[in-house]
Amino acid sequence: MTTITIQKPDDWHLHFRDGDILKETVAATARCFQRAIVMPNLVPPVTNASDINAYRERILAARPAGSQFEPLMVLYLTNQTTQQDIADAKASGAVAAKLYPAGATTNSDAAVSALDALFPIFEEMQKQGMLLLIHGEVTDNHIDIFDREKEFIDQHLTRIVAAFTELKIVFEHITTKDAAEFVIAAGDNVAATITPQHLLLNRNDLLVGGVKPHNYCLPVLKRNIHQQALRAVVASGNSKFFLGTDSAPHEKRAKENACGCAGCYSAWSAIELYTHVFDELGALDKLEGFASHYGADFYGLPRNTDTITLEKQDWTIPEQIILPNGEPIVPFFAGQTCSWQIKG
C-alpha cells in the first residue's frame, strides 16, 4: 500500500502552552487534526470556568487563517476544586477535568496531593457527564520511577474505577503492559491514550550511549517488553485505545540543560509517525479507528467528516524549528526518517 485515506483524526491529549508559542503549536496541530484535548497545566493552571474561556480564546486567535480546528478544553483539578467549579466548567463547554498527582510532571506542583479528598468531585463529574483524565503515576520518593504507573493502578486507579462505574475515565499516555491489561479488563467506561514516543521508543533510546534529552518525557520510557505490549494493543484494533500525542514543546535550551525538562514535541509529525508505526506492524487497516474513530466515540462526539491522505514517501524530520520568539525547538524524531507524509 502506497497511499491511505482516513477520516480526519483528532489528538486526544496535547500541550499547546501559552503566549507566543501558540502561533507554532496550534498551527502544527491544526494542519492534520480537527480537534484536540488541550492540557490545562499552564502557569498559573486553568482551574475555573473563567480560565477555560480565556485560554480557549487565546488558542482560537492563534489558529491559521481559514482553519476550523476546535480546541476541547479541560479543567485542572486541585484539592481546592469545588463541585461548583465542575458545574461551571461543564457549562463553559469543558469536556473533561484533569487529575495530576502533585509533582508528577511539568507544572503539576499545584495539583492533587490528597487524592481521596477528590472523591466528591469525581461524583459531581459523573453527575455532570464530564470525563476524568488521569496522569497515572504515584510520586512517592521511595517508588522507582519505572514502577510508578503500576503503583498508581494498584493504589488508586483500581479504587476510583470501582467507586465510579458511570464516570468515563481516560488513563492517559499509558506506558506499560500493566496499564494496557488494566484498561482491557476494565468496564466500557475506561479507555487510554497512547503516544508516538511510547510506540517508537523504549528506555534504551533514552539512556544507551548517553542521555538523550529530547527523548525524555513523563511518564518516562519503559522496557522493551512494555513498548511491545503497547504496539500489540494498537495493532489489535481494540477500541479502548486511541491517539493522544502528549505533544509537549520546550525550547532547546530548556531540554539540553543540567536539569532538562520532560516532554516530546511531536505535533509537527505526529500523524505521519503513527502511520509509520502502524505500517511497521502490518496494521494500516487499524489506523483509522485508532486515530479518527475511537476517541470521538468514547467522548460521545461525532466523527469528523473530512479526510486526509498519506502517501508512503521517505522524508526527514527537521533538526529544529524556530519559534516566534527566535528560539529553536527540537521536534520529536528530529533528523530521522519517517516513511509516510501527508499528501498535499
Which residue from 173, 99, 174 is spatially nearest to 130, judged by alpha carbons? 99
Beta pairing class for 190-194 and 169-171: parallel
Q: What does the CA dihedral 137, 142, 147, 148 come to, rounded to 10 degrees?
A: 0
C-alpha R_g of the chain: 19
How distant is the alpha carbon of residue 314 from its chain centre?
26
Evaluate whether 99 touches 78 at the Cβ level (below 8 Å): no
Strand partners, 230: none
Contact 227, 281 (CB under 8 A): no
- Residue 246 annotated in ligand binding: yes
246 is known as an active-site residue: yes
Rounded-to-integer distance, Cα 342 and Cα 168, Å: 33
**Three-state secondary structure call for residue 176:** coil
Give CA–CA dist 64/23, Å, rounded.
8
- The response to whether 164 counts as a known ligand-binding position is no
Distances (CA, A) of 141 to 103, 219, 259: 11, 15, 18
Measured CA to CA, the distance from residue 28 to residue 310 in angstroms comes to: 16
CA 278 to each of CA 43, 96, 196, 291: distance values in angstroms, whole numbers, following the listed order = 36, 29, 11, 11
The answer to whether 17 is a known ligand-binding residue is: yes
Residue 15, marked binder = yes
Residue with cell 503515576: 137
The residue to which cell 466528591 is assigned = 120
Residue 98 among known ligand-binding residues: yes
Instruction: Say if residue 218 carries a ligand binding annotation.
Output: yes
Q: Which three cell numbers stand for residue 244?
A: 493522544
- The active-site residue out of 246, 279, 285, 306 is 246
DSSP, res 101: B
At CA 204, angle to CA 253 and CA 171, rounded to 5?
A: 80
Q: Angle CA(15)–CA(141)–CA(149) in degrees, nearest 5? A: 50
Is 88 a known ligand-binding residue? no
Q: Is 13 annotated as a binding residue?
A: yes
Output the known binding site for Zn(2+).
13, 15, 98, 135, 173, 246
Bind-site residues: 13, 15-17, 41, 98, 135, 173, 218, 246, 250, 262
Name the binding residues for substrate.
15-17, 41, 135, 218, 250, 262
Which residues are catalytic, by number?
246
